[in-house]
Structure 1
Amino acid sequence: MNLQQRINAFVKLGDFLSQFSNESIHIKNNVEHNGLFFDGFKHQIKLAEEYNGWFTKENILFAVEGWANLLTENNLITWLKPYNIESIQQKRVAIIMAGNIPLVGFHDFLSVLVAGHQVIVKQSSNDKHLLPYLAKYLEYVEPSFKGLISFTEEKLEQFDAVIATGSNNTARYFEYYFKEKPSIIRNNRNSVAVLLGTETPEELKKLSEDIFRYYGLGCRNVSKLFVPRDYNFNAFFESVYHWHPIIDKAKYANNYDYNKAVYLMSEFDMLENGFLMIKEDESFSSPIATVFYEFYDSLEALKETLNSKKEQIQCVVSNGFMENEIPFGKTQKPELWDYADNVDSIEFLLSI
């Protein structure tokens, strides 16, 4: 199986996923193997939603639609063009996936297979329904994938390299356990937004997508704001208010109530609007239903601060603040070449 065959298979997978979105779920006549897989995938979405209370149908379909938009021939060719993939020696690569948002490990899965390796996946128990089903679809549209994809809940064995994602604590365990293997080890990171005070209501509305999508559980979700001294939060609260139905979700509401009680009992100063709290805090990682903020006096000094803490930061969201910033509203819509932790996984997979 050559590179073009692998690309073609993922393009067909993208076509299959394009039938599922929040706008509609509808069957297309030109998609291969719909008779075998269309209704089954609807069932997997339902199972994923029932199994994990954070995986609402809306968020699952948002993730699915995102991958449908990315898995086009043009995107895949553009992404892979800089690499010399055809001449690699096939290895067996283990992936240990997180389970914080739906299909969060799909980019690693895609990268390993499109690079020409075998993959053995150890999924999080929180996200175990969707990917194995999509792997079966891949094997149907490209039978050469059979034997190259496996899933396990047991101890990982007989692999040549590993990509593992977890918390700061589990990352230290991974680094020790896999010290003899080529590896990419990822730990906790958070994303921040830098507000200049000149943002339009539309920009702030887009920022709310970066904050609330997936309930803020992703490393690309904005968990902290940097704002000018004496920043007025009124425009921010007005622009995010359209997300107020989120408080009707029981798991989110429970976290909101709990964290609000903690802040009140601790007599912390905070602002809130009935579904979101903002609190001045130097930390990057805020609890669910909370966004931290910190004042700055100098943009240059802030750049130095963020550069010094770049190992803790996944994305910087702003408009005109720094190079490589992410536009408002785009954190959960990365391109194929936007690598987690800025570690080029394809380059890694070609080096093992």
Structure 2
Amino acid sequence: MSSSAKVTALVRLGQYLSGNDPELQIVKERAFQANGWFTPEFIDLSLQNICRYYLDESLLNKWLAGYAAPASSPRQVGIVAAGNIPLVGFHDWLCGFLSGHQVRLKLSSKDTILMQHVIDKVKEWYPAYAEQTLVQDMLKHCDAYIATGSNNSARYFEYYFAKYPHVIRRNRTSVAILDGTETAAELEALADDVMLYFGLGCRNVTKIFVPENYDFEALLKALRKYSYLADHHKYKNNYDYNLALVLLSNTAYIANDNIILQESAAAFSPISVLHYGYYTDATALGEELKGNNDLQCIVGRGFTPFGMAQQPSLADYADGVDTMQFLTGL
């Protein structure tokens, strides 16, 4: 099928996902019941961003114009999807679908319901696409692989897929650089970068860099925007556990009712904890962070704008590896 026909199908999918179809509402409720981290609010946010940034006709056509035509000799491409936030594997499937290859998709047990529903709707509306995407528990005999997982699982992926063309993704996170002059609106936007999806995404800010003698009061006030997350039992359990750890270890910390700020050299932080560190030279820090392969985003003035970390475009590839270039080059 032509790219234009597939874009038409994706635009229709966007219209469906942005609507209030009773079937979709039932699927969203089932997804929440199956995975307590997938709250209705965060499912809706993920769908909203997918429709706005991935399934817009003009954006899709502009993005596709930068790549070769779909494969005339389709390959079997195995995709191991992540499941840390709702529909996080959608972009990989989208690239596989538009590249013209045969997608063999292993869904995460954490995000089976939503992803399966999206694929099933496209097949229902367009039977000609039915065989292009198959959901499988085991990915064998594929010609290429895309796999997303932890640093530990990545070692296994590297071993099993070594002789095939592959893209292997590891743990990543995001950080922010503050200079102390941020407005209340900018800090509220940063709160989104930190707290959306409970901080589980690779684009969530898990550490901030601040100048010496930084006053955290305004930031703590902004983070109270998400104080309601303390009512979520899974998040509250993490908060209580991590607060107990810092108390028992007699470690310095700053906290409000929904997040703990702790000084640490580590970029990665546990759920409900935001690490911070001090800097003296913002320019040097920015250059250093650009070379850090553990980082997906750097948020701040001159980098990804505050509040935009969780709104990636079609060309914002995980780990910075151009998935579409990889697929069209097979």
Scaled by the length of structure 2, what TM-score is found?
A: 0.97
> CA offsets per residue over residues 298-326 of structure 1, 9 Å max, x none?
113212321332x1100000013xxxx21
- Kept in 1: contact 2:70–2:98 (CA 8 A): no
In structure 2, how many angstroms separate the alpha carbons of the residues matched to 1:346 and 1:304?
Answer: 27
SS of equivalent residue, structure 1 residue 170: helix
Give the equivalent residue in structure 1 for 2:87.
103
Structure 2 counterpart of 1:168, from 141, 148, 151: 151
Give the equivalent residue in structure 2 for 1:269.
252
Letter in 2 for 1:318: G
- Kept in 2: contact 1:188–1:312 (CA 8 A): yes
- Kept in 1: contact 2:78–2:105 (CA 8 A): yes
Distance 1:260 1:162, change over 3 A: same
In structure 2, how many angstroms separate the alpha carbons of the residues matched to 1:87 and 1:168?
Answer: 31
Give 1:128 deviation, angstroms: 0.5
Give the equivalent residue in structure 2 for 1:185.
168
Give the equivalent residue in structure 1 for 2:2.
2
Structure 1 counterpart of 2:297, from 308, 315, 337: 315
Structure 2 counterpart of 1:345, from 310, 323, 327: 323
- Kept in 2: contact 1:271–1:279 (CA 8 A): yes
Structure 2 residue 92 is the aligned partner of structure 1 residue 114: no
In structure 1, how many angstroms separate the alpha carbons of the residues matched to 2:81 and 2:5?
Answer: 26
Residues 283-298 of structure 1: matches in 2 within 5 Å? Answer: 283-298=266-281
In structure 1, how many angstroms separate the alpha carbons of the residues matched to 2:71 and 2:34?
Answer: 42
In structure 1, how many angstroms separate the alpha carbons of the residues matched to 2:305 and 2:240?
Answer: 31
Give 1:88 deviation, angstroms: 4.2
In structure 2, how many angstroms separate the alpha carbons of the residues matched to 1:176 and 1:87?
Answer: 27
Give the equivalent residue in structure 1 for 2:132.
148
In structure 2, how many angstroms separate the alpha carbons of the residues matched to 1:94 and 1:86?
Answer: 17
- Kept in 2: contact 1:99–1:124 (CA 8 A): yes
SS of equivalent residue, structure 1 residue 129: helix
Structure 2 residue 16 is the aligned partner of structure 1 residue 16: yes
In structure 1, how many angstroms separate the alpha carbons of the residues matched to 2:290 and 2:88?
Answer: 26
In structure 1, how many angstroms separate the alpha carbons of the residues matched to 2:141 and 2:128?
Answer: 21
In structure 2, how many angstroms separate the alpha carbons of the residues matched to 1:171 and 1:99?
Answer: 15
- Kept in 2: contact 1:12–1:141 (CA 8 A): no
Give 1:87 deviation, angstroms: 5.2
**Consecutive aligned runs of 4 or more in structure 1 exceeding 6 Å deviation:** none
Structure 2 counterpart of 1:243, from 226, 241, 249: 226
SS of equivalent residue, structure 1 residue 294: strand
Identity over aligned residues, as a percent? 41
Give the equivalent residue in structure 2 for 1:34.
none
> CA offsets per residue over residues 53-76 of structure 1, 9 Å max, x none?
111111111111111212011010
In structure 2, how many angstroms separate the alpha carbons of the residues matched to 1:228 and 1:64?
Answer: 37
Structure 1 counterpart of 2:118, from 134, 139, 145: 134
In structure 2, how many angstroms separate the alpha carbons of the residues matched to 1:99 and 1:146?
Answer: 23
Scaled by the length of structure 1, what TM-score is found?
A: 0.91
Letter in 1 for 2:35: N
Give 1:157 deviation, angstroms: 1.2
In structure 2, how many angstroms separate the alpha carbons of the residues matched to 1:157 and 1:346?
Answer: 22
In structure 2, how many angstroms separate the alpha carbons of the residues matched to 1:202 and 1:73?
Answer: 31
Give the equivalent residue in structure 1 for 2:141.
158
In structure 1, how many angstroms separate the alpha carbons of the residues matched to 2:14 and 2:71?
Answer: 26
In structure 2, how many angstroms separate the alpha carbons of the residues matched to 1:187 and 1:172?
Answer: 9
Structure 2 residue 237 is the aligned partner of structure 1 residue 254: yes
> CA offsets per residue over residues 235-256 of structure 1, 9 Å max, x none?
1111221211110000000000
Letter in 2 for 1:279: Q
In structure 1, how many angstroms separate the alpha carbons of the residues matched to 2:291 and 2:32?
Answer: 39
Give the equivalent residue in structure 2 for 1:29.
none
Give the equivalent residue in structure 2 for 1:90.
74
SS of equivalent residue, structure 2 residue 119: helix
Give the equivalent residue in structure 2 for 1:61.
44
In structure 2, how many angstroms separate the alpha carbons of the residues matched to 1:161 and 1:351?
Answer: 11
Letter in 2 for 1:317: V
In structure 2, how many angstroms separate the alpha carbons of the residues matched to 1:41 and 1:241?
Answer: 31
> CA offsets per residue over residues 13-68 of structure 1, 9 Å max, x none?
0111111xxxxxx3xxxxxxxxxxx3322221111100111111111111111112
Give 1:134 deviation, angstroms: 1.2
Q: Which runs of 5+ in 2 are unaligned?
A: none
- Kept in 1: contact 2:71–2:328 (CA 8 A): no
Letter in 1 for 2:152: N
Give the equivalent residue in structure 2 for 1:299.
282
Structure 2 residue 312 is the aligned partner of structure 1 residue 328: no
Q: Would you say how many aligned residue pairs link Structure 1 and Structure 2?
A: 329
Give the equivalent residue in structure 2 for 1:51.
34
In structure 1, how many angstroms separate the alpha carbons of the residues matched to 2:283 and 2:308?
Answer: 24
Distance 1:282 1:75, change over 3 A: same
SS of equivalent residue, structure 1 residue 329: coil
In structure 2, how many angstroms separate the alpha carbons of the residues matched to 1:110 and 1:86?
Answer: 13
